[in-house]
Amino acid sequence: MDTRTKLLEARAVRGNQLAQVEGAVRRVSDSEYQVRSQRTGEWYQVYATERGLRCSCPDFQFRAGLTLSEGHRYHAEFKCKHIFAVELSHALRQTVERQVKIEPVGVQTCLYCASSDIIRRGVRHNQNGEIQRFLCKSCGRRFTKNLGFERMKATPEAITQALQLYFTGESLRNVQRFLRLQGVEISHQTVWNWIQKYVGLMQGYLDQIQPNLSSTWRADELYVKIRGNLKYLFAMMDDQTRFLIAQEVADSKERHDARSLFHKSAEVAGKRPSLLITDGLKSYHQAWKKEFVFRNGTDAPIHVKDITFKGRVHNNKMERLNGEIRDREQNFRGLKSADSPILAGYRLFHNYIRPHEALDGRTPAEACGIAVEGENRWLTIIQQASKSGHVPTQDTSKVGILDELKPSRVPTLDRETKEGGIPKT
């Protein structure tokens, strides 16, 4: 690799780390920002010009105008870590806590006359529980509304408890035994049928909602067993929100074309990353060239592939995710097929259900601006997914200075900012 390219990659990694330090980047005006020096504590000025962002630090002043290249299509001008920090700053990208709300569905109107004058009147005794009944005062008819769980013998609570137990690591038979203690008599096959049905339902609904991701992505792979054969699971994760963007199963590690993973991730996010961090696997670098460099030229993201387990450049966040998947895969004793609902279900569980300590008890979806409300998140998502073609509305917004200077070629989720840019810190 060219020495100049390594120089740019090092600045990109340090800028990404600096952007995650609270108060390290602050907005002065629509065209000027201040970034604190990690060594001296001095504030450097990062300002916008017609040629892009410029910085007052000695590093940028010494190397300004230096052109870095790899091949004949990829050329990039030098940027210091302070410019990268502004571009990758969490305060710039994550300006709204909740842009999308997925709310529980309540019974508000009568099923027969659409009147809103309804009251609760008794319960219907099901084989494994009770379902609320309603009385319409306008037409005098009684009805039940069990959205998403119609014709199910078990209650919504029992089904969602089964999903929660299974994706936290319990086996099908352990889930069956737990529900039996709750008075729900089912077989382990019934639990598997629930998983297949509701994972597909929720996945089709949630795939329509675009998360508000950062500009730094991480990719990695791990081996899994599918019907006893060794396969590889390739995955892409957002650096700051821990949102699992996309994943795919491959027969080979070295010969796999990772372009499909990169393309799928860009479709989910609605944009390209500015910084891509992977290990030294050649499949990633070849896919980076074909998917980003050859298509976008100078707008291609920076690819950092010289990583270690210790030190300044590492991929520990992705390795932590691999550990989670490995723990679940061991309990499952391998997978039956590459399109198993287990992989899609755990991605859903990781993104929308499971709180993360690194995110202050939030889920990755909440960090991306997608809030699943209600005490039972499984229930909320299933109810919303069962409503025909309904997608939560997204807030309209303004954009920051960097969005104007470097417009994405792919439509992105609108963002609402405070005072038109980065909130003052």
- Domains of the chain in start order, with CATH, are 3-96+398-405 (no CATH), 106-146 (no CATH), 216-336 (3.30.420.10)
pLDDT in tens, 352-386: 999 998 888 999 999 988 999 989 999 999 989 98
In this prediction, residues 27-36 reach a mean pLDDT of 80
pLDDT at 144 over 70: yes
Task: Give me 420's structure tokens.
Answer: 């038109």
pLDDT at 377: 94
In this prediction, residues 12-37 reach a mean pLDDT of 79
Helix, strand and coil percent figures for the chain, each rounded to 5: 35, 20, 40
Global pTM reads: 0.70
Nearest CA to 198 among 132, 150, 139, 235?
150
DSSP H helical ranges for 58-106? 58-63, 81-88, 90-93
pLDDT in tens, 399-414: 333 333 333 333 333 3
Query: Chain-centre distance of CA 304, in angstroms?
Result: 21
Residue 293 per-residue DSSP state: I
Which segment, 222-226, 331-335, 368-372, 398-402, is predicted with the most confidence on average? 368-372
pLDDT tier, 89 (very low <50, low <70, confident <90, very high otherwise): low
Distance of CA 336 to CAs 225, 327, 345, Å?
A: 9, 17, 14
pLDDT at 398: 36
Is the pLDDT higher at 310 or at 185? Answer: 185
Amino acid at residue number 317: K
pLDDT at 21 over 60: yes
pLDDT at 197: 93
- CA atoms of 91 and 87, how far apart (whole Å): 10
pLDDT at 393 over 50: no
Decide: 385 and 208 in contact? Cβ < 8 Å.
Answer: no
**Burial of 125 (C-beta count, 10 Å sphere; 0-12/13-18/19+):** exposed
Query: Chain-centre distance of CA 1, in angstroms?
Result: 31
